Amino acid sequence: MKISVMSDILKANDLLAEDIKKLLFEKNITAWNLMGSPGSGKTAILERLIPMLPETLRAAVIEGDLATSNDAVRIARTGVQSTQINTGGACHLDAAMIRSALEEIEIDAISILFIENVGNLVCPSSFSLGESGRIIVSSITEGDDKPEKYPSMFKTADLVLVNKMDLLGNTNFQMESFMKGMRKVNRNASVLPVSAIEGTGFDSTLQWLLKHVKKSR
Ligand code: MG
Ligand code: ZN
């Protein structure tokens, strides 16, 4: 693809994302763009986190996948609104997809929106969805070199959840190496270790979330 064509696409996306951002701001909704590799545990983390949210913080989830509604069905079991986007072939969500998904959500009833992006460490980071912030899930089975290898993704993170900590003894993942790479590309993001399977690290994650919901509201 010619660079000029790509930048036109991104420009059009940014304009639409600005509209979404305005709408969410008016409605007092904090929106998180949740990104990470396929299988890193994005949906599993939402399944842990959503039931922990205080009553005053009603959530909805937009799920993005190439195919199936599996993840939206999993999220619906937590009792919150969930809607599925199937991108067909596309390897990322864009603002136009979010605009139409928002029509299926009763947004006056919510104050927090999670948008689970297509599993991919490359292009989702280029497409703003009008979110308030970005959460990256990186699981330890992917290795500790991911921040350095995929800087565009980790550069824009507000929070990085290092998932599958329960498997630490079975991998050669070194938190110190991960943090070293992370700080090369992003000095400010919070980094929290979690295990979605065992439920560890979610008190800190919730505290982080509550703090940042307040800040952006
Ligand atoms: Mg998922
Ligand atoms: Zn893509």
Measured in angstroms, how far is the CA atom of residue 159 from the centroid of ligand 2? 21
Nearest to 90 by CA among 145, 2, 13: 13
Gap from CA of 3 to ligand 1 centroid (Å): 31
Q: How far is the CA of 101 from the centre of ligand 1 (A)?
A: 17
Q: Which domain holds residue 11?
A: 2-216
Q: What pLDDT, on the 0 to 100 scale, is given for residue 215?
A: 53
Bridge partners (DSSP) listed for residue 65: 86
pLDDT for the residue numbered 1 = 59
CATH code of the domain covering residue 148 = 3.40.50.300
Nearest ligand, CA 64: 1
CA-based nearest residue to 184, from 211, 149, 133, 160 = 149
* Spatial contact of 118 and 87, defined as CB atoms under 8 Å apart: yes
- CA-to-CA separations, 197 to 46, 165, 174, in angstroms, rounded: 12, 9, 20
Shortest-distance ligand to the CA of residue 87: 2
Q: According to the model, what pLDDT value does residue 6 have?
A: 85
Name the residues around ion ligand 1, CB cutoff 5 A. 42-43, 71
Total count of domains within the chain: 1
Residue 38 Cα to ligand 1 middle (Å): 7
Ligand 1: distance of its center to the CA of 39 in Å?
Answer: 7
pLDDT in tens, the chain (217 residues): 567 888 999 999 999 999 999 999 999 999 999 999 999 999 999 999 999 999 999 999 999 999 999 999 999 999 999 999 999 999 999 999 999 999 999 999 999 999 999 999 999 999 999 999 999 999 999 999 999 999 999 999 999 999 999 999 999 999 999 999 999 999 999 999 999 999 999 999 999 999 998 655 4
Ligand that lies nearest to the alpha carbon of residue 124, given by its number in the listed order:
2
Q: Cα separation of 104 and 49, whole Å?
A: 22
Judged on CB neighbours under 10 Å (0-12, 13-18, 19+), 87 is: middle
Instruction: Note the pLDDT of residue 104.
Output: 96
Q: How far is the CA of 41 from the centre of ligand 1 (A)?
A: 7
Q: Nearest bound ligand to CA 71?
A: 1
